[in-house]
Amino acid sequence: MLRLFTEALGSFLTDRLSGLPEKPVVSFTLPGQVQGRNAVSVFLSAMTEDGDLRSNEIEYESTEYGWIARKPPISLKCTYIISAWSDAGNPNEAALIQAELLSAAYGVFSLAGGALPDAYVPAPMQTSGLPKPKLVLGKDNLHNLPEFWTSAGCTFHTAFSLSATIHIPVIEEHYEHIVEGVHTDTRVRF
């Protein structure tokens, strides 16, 4: 499910940036790994369970075989580092292209209004009745830490973060034999 969602973010960004003269590609690799192309990197840098959004209530559903107990979905907060890269040989031109690509990518997510448009939400997230993915810009500052860029193998780079909360179903069902009601008939003899 996480792969489908990440690919959907890439498709959304690719479609919205396709009209730019720089013709960027979207990459999911470490920032700066696409060589010889203008690129926007959508790198998944962290993920944690968002316990505040998770319910612990088990849902029960009646079937012909008995009752099915289903655990609620996991709310997973994913942090993506969004950065732009240029293939221009001139450093000044490269910096300007990167600024253009990064501002365009920021604008795409900003105009999305905190949600991925329905056309891009992966089918499993639509059909299972899960809450829609929620997008928030700039809540994590990991991209500002020198350690991040050093571990990525490049120098400090302008970037922004995008947090996405997605809901992943727990694939665990078990059957319960639950008694809904009991009717007893007692007769008293004298």
pLDDT by residue (tens digit) across 9-28? Answer: 999 999 999 998 888 999 88
Ranges 86-95, 98-107, 138-147: which has the least confidence:
138-147
For the chain, what are the domain ranges?
A: 2-52+75-167
pLDDT of residue 183 exceeding 70, the answer is: no
pLDDT at 110: 92
Residue 81: closest CA among 181, 178, 159, 170? 159
Q: Do residues 130 and 165 make contact, with C-beta atoms less than 8 angstroms apart?
A: no
CATH top-level class for 2-52+75-167?
Answer: alpha beta
Q: What is the mean pLDDT of residues 21-42?
A: 85
Q: Say yes or no to pLDDT of 144 above 60.
A: yes
**Alpha-carbon distances, residue 3 vs 44, 72, 110, 168 (angstroms):** 10, 21, 22, 12
DSSP annotation string for 157-184 = --EEEEEEEEEE----EEEE--------
* Predicted local distance difference test score (pLDDT) of residue 56: 62
Q: Residue 88 and residue 90: Cα distance in Å, rounded?
A: 6
Q: What is the mean pLDDT of the chain?
A: 79
For β-strands 66-70 and 59-63, DSSP reports them as: antiparallel
What's the rounded Cα separation, in Å, for the pair 22 and 5? 25
Q: End-to-end distance of the chain based on CA atoms, in angstroms?
A: 68
Nearest-angstrom CA–CA distance, 77 and 12: 19
